[in-house]
Chains A and B, each alone.
Chain A
């Protein structure tokens, strides 16, 4: 498998309308989306996006409907042409690629999963899964052999000869996932891939993705409008509003330090106990008197609380990935962090 590669977006602007170039300077100067629309009939899709996506991690892009999420993810494989800016993938600017280079880039470096699945209805599960390899010109026998592993891995064993119409939504999106994984590309683009699914199935698919990601270590760009999904999947999360990134950071950053009232509003409804990590609420290791029980830094507060209750203690050592003490977590801090409503960060 190819090594993971990072994505860096710099100064990206997208303006829809008759003459984007003419409106661009105004957008740069900060004219509002509404004003641009009313005065120039131009729709501001994205404004000055700067975002670095780490190789081999899941980058979530979150925002309400119409905030520009689909527009942004489509710039990474240039399904949409930017008005200005750079999209560097592994150091190379996608925006400058020739049509042939772009086609090769899409065949080898990226694979995409779509909200409405976009499976070919006249093809079976297997025939859909091999589409990418077919386009690359891989011989038929090898295509099937390579696809088979992924079809089985996403739980479609025994369904290879079914048609998409014979499958439920969840199963259809597994086909979409298998088709993307079969491509063996280091970058996986998922545009609201699970948004069309029922809640239980959605959680199921999130588990499938997280489980896969442990092995495949791809650079995943995952779009969602659902904060719970974002927090569950994202190593990093960027929040988009009206075409602008208003906060980018880890789930801890977003939940503990929302950048503004808009994000605070989102964050208010999340289950903080499950999101906040033990190491985000810990205090420095004291010189003496270390507690006997320990918990990993990436465990949730909920888990920490459960352990405290089971052991009947009110303090835990928090360990770093190598197992050394990184801090101490007190029950009072756990409760404060879990019940905090964002008005105050202090416990």
Chain B
């Protein structure tokens, strides 16, 4: 009656062999293809380094004006623009300018990748039920799997550095944009699609002229979520070599530098708020046409 009191688990030797077999297999795979895969991600590394270089090596005043200008163009709100400017100036004044610029560069690259991959994938999910059935469980895993766990294979394959960190961030941050693109497109009114069909639109024209524009507010919400989640990954990503505001936080943890941790933490919060307010204001501006409703 042993199995009643003790869970009838796989015997230890076999379990050990199983783990070892998987590990060995993966290690062999890494040895065989690691370099090739790293080569595949080379363009990504160059993109990220160029973005970082631009943000840190351009005179700060130019970058500052650029960011403030973008805030204004996107939000058309003096309050949001002024708030962003003050936040940036404070960050700089407290000596975190370079780290902040590196983080912004990383978020930017991560967002671009997420949009470039996530929107087509979301569109495919909305169009083909089979794609949705296949992708949804993967997204569930991506969103619930503790990020430390998938750092392991990423690091084994690509080592420590910018690219594996960036990948970890993208894996964590991309699901919302995929899901909300899918949702946004499926929520488009049937009548609109019928009208598009009646005028002889091809499926590509229907997508570009009707579905994507009408799903845009939902997609924008997805982009906003993606940015916020990427920011939440800054510290974890810095553990495997991503530069930016995460690294001082790590140092602060291991050395118990309370103030250093707080300052950098607030800098992350600061840019999160800037990104959030600006992208939301931008989304609202895109929806301007639906505000003035006829009585």
Give the B-binding residues of A (Cβ under 8 A).
77, 79, 103-108, 110-112, 114, 116, 118, 120-122, 131-132, 134-136, 163-168, 183, 189
Contacts and interface: CB of A to CB of B under 8 A. Distances in A.
Nearest to A119: B195
B54 to A, nearest CB: 33
A122 B199 contact: no
Contacts, number: 71
29 contacts: A79-B197, A79-B198, A106-B197, A106-B200, A107-B199, A108-B200, A111-B198, A111-B199, A112-B195, A112-B199, A114-B191, A114-B195, A118-B192, A118-B195, A121-B214, A121-B289, A122-B213, A122-B214, A131-B199, A134-B209, A135-B199, A135-B201, A135-B205, A135-B209, A165-B293, A165-B294, A166-B292, A166-B294, A189-B198
Interface in B242-295: 289-294
Interface string B105-126: 0000000000000000000000
Contacts of A132: 199-200
Contact of A118 (B194, B201, B216): B194
Contact of B202 (A103, A110, A112, A163): A103
B210 interface: yes
Contacts of A105: 200
A131 to B, nearest CB: 6
A166 B292 CA distance: 6
Nearest to B195: A118
Interface of B: 189, 191-192, 194-195, 197-202, 205, 209-210, 213-214, 216, 289-294
B204 to A, nearest CB: 11
Contacts of A114: 191, 194-195
A74 to B, nearest CB: 8
Contacts of A116: 191
- Minimum-distance CB pairs A-B, first 7: A107-B200, A106-B200, A118-B195, A163-B289, A112-B198, A118-B191, A132-B199
Nearest to B192: A118
A143 B291 CA distance: 28
Contact of A120 (B194, B214, B292, B293): B214
B290 A121 contact: yes
A198 to B, nearest CB: 13
A134 B213 CA distance: 15
Given A120-B214, A167-B294, 16 more contacts: A103-B200, A106-B197, A116-B191, A118-B194, A118-B195, A122-B213, A122-B216, A131-B199, A131-B209, A132-B200, A134-B209, A135-B200, A136-B200, A165-B289, A165-B293, A168-B294
A221 to B, nearest CB: 13
B290 A165 contact: yes
Contacts of A131: 199, 209
Contacts of B294: 165-168
A120 B200 contact: no
B214 A79 contact: no
Contacts of A120: 192, 209-210, 213-214
A121 B215 CA distance: 12
Q: Max chain B CB contacts within 10 Å: which of A136, A163, A168?
A: A163
A217 B205 CA distance: 30
B259 to A, nearest CB: 49
Q: Max chain B CB contacts within 10 Å: which of A103, A105, A110?
A: A103
Contacts of B194: 79, 114, 118
Nearest to A131: B199
